Amino acid sequence: MKKEIEFMLNEEKVIVEVEPHWTLLHLLRETLELTGAKEGCGVGECGACTVIVEGDAVNSCLYPVMEIEGKTVTTIEGLAKPDGTLHPLQQSFIENNGVQCGYCTSGMIMSAKALLDKNADPTENEIRTSISGNICRCTGYVQIVESIKHAAGSMKNTQAAQNGK
């Protein structure tokens, strides 16, 4: 039996009918056609489905859709500006070769964003911990860690420039 839920998705209010047994990932991909979050393992081991709920990175493949009622959800689709300007993390992954096949990338970026939103100046160890639930089978992680480091740096510079104005 379908139920109607309401929540904030990428800064827009969404009212949508769901089956109570769905996961958040199912709603995103199959109903809302936001296919940035991937289903890798489907059981919380790979992190390809990572999205941010109320500021925290979560596996959307294990998140009961009924629990997002009234909550704030951010997916990879919500990162670029409406004019197409990429988020510093997205830009940095491109510039630092943090992407190979791309399947893990959305999840990697969302885990990194959850970190940088809370900690603008993370250590390498904190960066590695933040993506410890995201598996990449191509890059060996070095370029990904570099991408996140550079993004943190450029976000700090932007922030400093804004504060200086």
Percent of residues in the chain assigned helix, strand, coil, to nearest 5: 40, 15, 45
Residues between 56 and 75 with contacts to other proteins, criterion CB under 8 A? 56-59, 61-64, 66-67, 69
Among 8, 16, 44, 103, contact with other proteins (rule: CB under 8 A): 44
Shortest Cβ 102–other proteins spacing (Å): 19
φ, ψ for residue 46, nearest 5 deg: -105, -25
Q: Residue 31, SS3?
A: helix
Assess contact for 48 and 106: CB atoms under 8 A: yes
Work out whether 45 is an interface residue with other proteins (CB under 8 A).
yes
Work out whether 130 is an interface residue with other proteins (CB under 8 A).
yes
Shortest Cβ 81–other proteins spacing (Å): 26
Q: DSSP secondary-structure letter at 86?
A: P
The sheet carrying 12-18 orders its strands as: 12-18, 3-9, 72-74, 50-53, 56-59
Work out whether 50 is an interface residue with other proteins (CB under 8 A).
yes
Please provide the size of the chain in residues.
165
Work out whether 23 is an interface residue with other proteins (CB under 8 A).
yes
Radius of gyration, CA atoms only, the chain? 16
Shortest Cβ 2–other proteins spacing (Å): 10
Assess contact for 146 and 99: CB atoms under 8 A: no
CA distance 68 to 24: 8
Cβ-based nearer residue to other proteins, 94 or 142? 142
Shortest Cβ 50–other proteins spacing (Å): 6
Work out whether 141 is an interface residue with other proteins (CB under 8 A).
no
Among 19, 30, 95, 117, contact with other proteins (rule: CB under 8 A): 19
| Positions that interact with other proteins (CB under 8 A) | 1, 19-21, 23, 42-45, 47, 50, 56-59, 61-64, 66-67, 69, 111, 114, 129-130, 132-135
